A and B are shown apart, each in its own frame.
Chain A
Amino acid sequence: MDNINEEKPRLILREHDIIENNSRISTVFDNQFDVKSFKKKFQIVIVRHDQTDMEFDLIGIHPSLVNCFRRLILSEVQTMAIDKVHVLNNTSIMQDEILAHRLGLIPLKADPRLFETKCDSKAAPDEKDTLEFELKIKCSNNKDSSKKESSRAEDMYKNSNVYSKHIKWVPIGGQKSKFKENEVGPIHSDILITKMRPGHELDLKLFAFKSNGKDHAKFSPVATVFYRLLPDIRLVKPVEGEAALRLQKCFSPGVITVKKDGDKQYAVLNENQARYDMSSRNVFRYEDLIDSVVMSKVHDHFIFTIESVGALPPEAIFREAVTILKDKCSSLLTELSSIM
């Protein structure tokens, strides 16, 4: 507890309250903002990255800015989604508007950076701002005799399930040379759209436009994006024997490991897993464990996680968001100087 007071500002989680480790040192909330010191203190560390998911640390930044990035990603980074459906024929049991809504929610692979936002919603589809698709499918009896005995709908009928893979891309103008079908179509081929029976038929034209999450959640580029403060857990006293197992159970899996040394066993903190602890204060239920653990959260260290839907890679989403904020501010600044 003594050395923790001298370190970076952090919040210590106690049994019933939260205290600052040292109220005399200044935090991000107290410091006067200036760009130079921000540039010096601010750090980004990438922890995990793959095609759709990304986790990185934003260190030394004000929470309002982190939240600003999160909000921008959720509702202002643009993607393509089906927005208009022309129903030429629909004899399935699903009503046109429900069907259109379901189609809208299907995520598309199309890279939104290669398209423009459609300004006039009444204008004819253009290759720069619209993707056209077609869904033409008819259900019929399956004549294949080998499946005669079966009573499964998939065997008795053809096309009884309509999946996103049945959506066909219709290139407009020069799009055919610019894109391939798997670069613009649905990301997942097995999304069930509706079910049909013999005689039911769908004939639809689908139009995808570019917009953002403010307009409709289907345009949001992420499944979720969130941040949390970095938990810092310290074992300040050795915990041995049965207590070690109890201690392990108080934290998220992997945070505490119990090591065996002969017939003795003792608890060890797993440093690189500690960041994933959910920070429940279960330890404080045990009188004998209270003094052996210090749980805290670092004031200005954020674990930022982006889970992309798949149209944009997560790093591109973050870059887009920051660029949107930058552009927004500079356009406001020019306007400000023009009116003052």
Chain B
Amino acid sequence: MLLAQLAGADPSCKTFVFEGEGHTLGNALRAIISSYPGVQFCGYTVPHPAENKMHLRIQMSHGKAVDALKRGLEDLIKVCGITLEKFDTEFTNFNQQNSQS
């Protein structure tokens, strides 16, 4: 199990526990999710350096926290796709220009 959530009745405020993740994913997700409308608070923490875990807390003013996380992950996937695409086109362009000169 890579993903779990801490107990809590309110679906708009949730803490998700990511097993085996750290600042790498935590900060990227936090940056994207906290910019969404309806998100009141989004923060992450690595509770203990010896424990390979990352907690991501999302508090919503309206809507469900899970949806924000879902959208965050989806957007991050798209960002990766766009980055790869742009990098590849630029790389072929760069090589073409350099082989000409």
On chain B, the residues within 8 Å of A33 by CB distance are 31-32, 35-36, 75
* A333 & B87 in contact (Cβ 8 Å cutoff): no
Taken together as a complex, chains A and B put the C-alpha atoms of A200 and B47 apart, in Å, by 51
B contacts with A: majority SS: helix
CB within 8 A of A71: which of B24, B78, B81?
B24
On chain B, the residues within 8 Å of A340 by CB distance are 66
In the complex, how many angstroms separate the beta carbon of A26 from the nearest chain B beta carbon?
11
* A32 & B37 in contact (Cβ 8 Å cutoff): yes
Given A32-B35, A39-B82: A333 and B70 within 8 A (CB)?
Answer: yes
- Please tell me if A45 contacts chain B, counting CB pairs below 8 Å: yes
A contacts with B: majority SS: helix
Taken together as a complex, chains A and B put the C-alpha atoms of A335 and B23 apart, in Å, by 20
Taken together as a complex, chains A and B put the C-alpha atoms of A34 and B82 apart, in Å, by 12
On chain A, the residues within 8 Å of B46 by CB distance are none
* A38 & B79 in contact (Cβ 8 Å cutoff): yes
Taken together as a complex, chains A and B put the C-alpha atoms of A46 and B84 apart, in Å, by 13
- Please tell me if A68 contacts chain B, counting CB pairs below 8 Å: yes
- Please tell me if A192 contacts chain B, counting CB pairs below 8 Å: no
Taken together as a complex, chains A and B put the C-alpha atoms of A23 and B74 apart, in Å, by 31
* B36 & A329 in contact (Cβ 8 Å cutoff): no
* A330 & B77 in contact (Cβ 8 Å cutoff): yes
Which positions 27-75 of chain B face chain A at CB distance < 8 Å?
A: 27-28, 30-32, 35-37, 66, 69-70, 73-75
**17 contacting pairs across A/B (C-beta < 8 A):** A32-B37, A33-B32, A33-B35, A44-B87, A44-B90, A45-B90, A49-B94, A64-B27, A64-B28, A326-B84, A328-B25, A329-B73, A329-B74, A330-B77, A332-B3, A333-B70, A340-B66
Interface residues of chain A, those whose CB is within 8 Å of chain B, are 31-35, 38-39, 42-46, 49, 56, 62-65, 67-68, 71-72, 75-76, 315, 318-319, 322-323, 325-326, 328-333, 335-337, 339-340
